[in-house]
Structure 1
Amino acid sequence: MKIASRRICFVVAYIGIAGSLWAASQWWEKGLAARLGEADISPGGCYRVEIFKPFWVLPNIFHPRVHPDELDKPEWFPWWGYPGFFRLYDHRTGKLISETRIYDLETGGGGMTWGAGSGEIFAGMIPVGPNVADCIGDRPSNRTPKV
């Protein structure tokens, strides 16, 4: 009976430690991410988009890969080309508007579209975030943006 209870305690402790590490990894993959290159600023100066490389401890094949349209289920054990995610800021105030999931930028990324007609800002096929009410489509204006 003593051996069985020790095994149960070991299994419970193992599950607890694994669960804690998984929860922490969900934070640190974006919390400790490295910024890549310079920020993209929209033509009218309303938005700033920054690209980040996630901080992964395990090799990238151990992280599921989702498609930007999110119609398919996540792919497990994929070969990542270039993992990354985007953060969208209001460039005038510095306020974070949105943050994307981690995508393979090699297959889903591309040029910036600032929301003309759609109300969404895209990087290739990846939806980065919504337009703010006073910058729909981010048309260039004569006013000077506040930095």
Structure 2
Amino acid sequence: MKILTRLQRFWLTVPVLCAGLWAASQWWGKGLAHPVGTPEISPNGCYRVQQFQPFWLLPGFFHPKAFPDPEADVHWFVRWEIPAFFRLYDHRTGQLIGQSEIYDLVNAGGPLSWGWRDFPTVTAAMIEIGPNLPDCIGDQPG
């Protein structure tokens, strides 16, 4: 039976530690995120949208950068300028309705849209945050 040398054990352990650190950083990105600024409340008071900055253990360079278009490629090892995601709440009850993925706001962000009858979804430019509630489509209480 061959015993691994200390150097061999080190080189076998490093990839496992790096993969574990990356996975933890991806998971904690949303789990330990902190809010940015004040939440935006819809005109009729149905919804509240809060922007969050992800909590990454690793620099953004190590996190894949996607674009809201599902057909767009995911890019690795690129610079993030303003990584963020949004959470949509029912402002009347405080219940979480939806949450976006993490995107770079410089490329994909923009003004909020509270949805309308033909497209009942709250968005920030191209970023879909969550669905409208049946009793408040397009921020028009029913």
TM tier, smaller: 0.7 to 0.9
Q: Structure 1: which amino acid aligns with 2:37?
A: G
Identity across matched positions, percent:
52
Is the counterpart of residue 35 in structure 1 residue 35 in structure 2? yes
Give TM-score scaled by structure 1 length: 0.83
Unmatched tracts of structure 1, length 5 or more:
142-147
In structure 2, relative to structure 1, the CA distance for the partners of 1:97 and 1:12 (3 Å cut) is farther
- Tell me the residue number matched to 2:22: 22
What's the counterpart of residue 128 of structure 2? 127
CA contact (8 A) 1:29 1:55 kept: yes
Please report the RMSD computed on the Cα atoms of aligned residues, expressed in angstroms. 2.2
The residue type equivalent to 1:126 in the other structure is I
What is the 5 A alignment of 1:13-92?
Answer: 13-92=13-92
Secondary structure in 2 matching 1:28: helix
Corresponding residue for residue 113 of structure 2: 113
1:101 aligned partner, one-letter code: E
SS in 2 for 1:77: coil
Is the CA contact (8 Å cut-off) linking 1:43 and 1:140 kept in structure 2? Answer: no
Number of the residue aligned with 1:137: 138
| Count of residues in correspondence between the two structures | 141
Deviation at 1:54, TM superposition (A): 0.8
**1:97 and 2:100 matched:** no
| SS of alignment partner, residue 55 of structure 2 | coil
Report the alpha carbon displacement of residue 109 of structure 1 after superposing the two structures with TM. Answer: 0.6
Mark the CA change 1:37 to 1:80 in structure 2 (over 3 Å): closer, same or farther: same
User: Which digits, 9 at most, give the CA deviation of each residue in 1:68-93, with x for residues without a partner?
Assistant: 11211211111212110000111111
TM-score, structure 2 length as denominator? 0.86
Segments of structure 2 that go 5 or more residues without pairing to the other structure are: none
CA contact (8 A) 2:99 2:130 kept: yes
SS class of match (1:3): coil
Counterpart code for 1:71: E
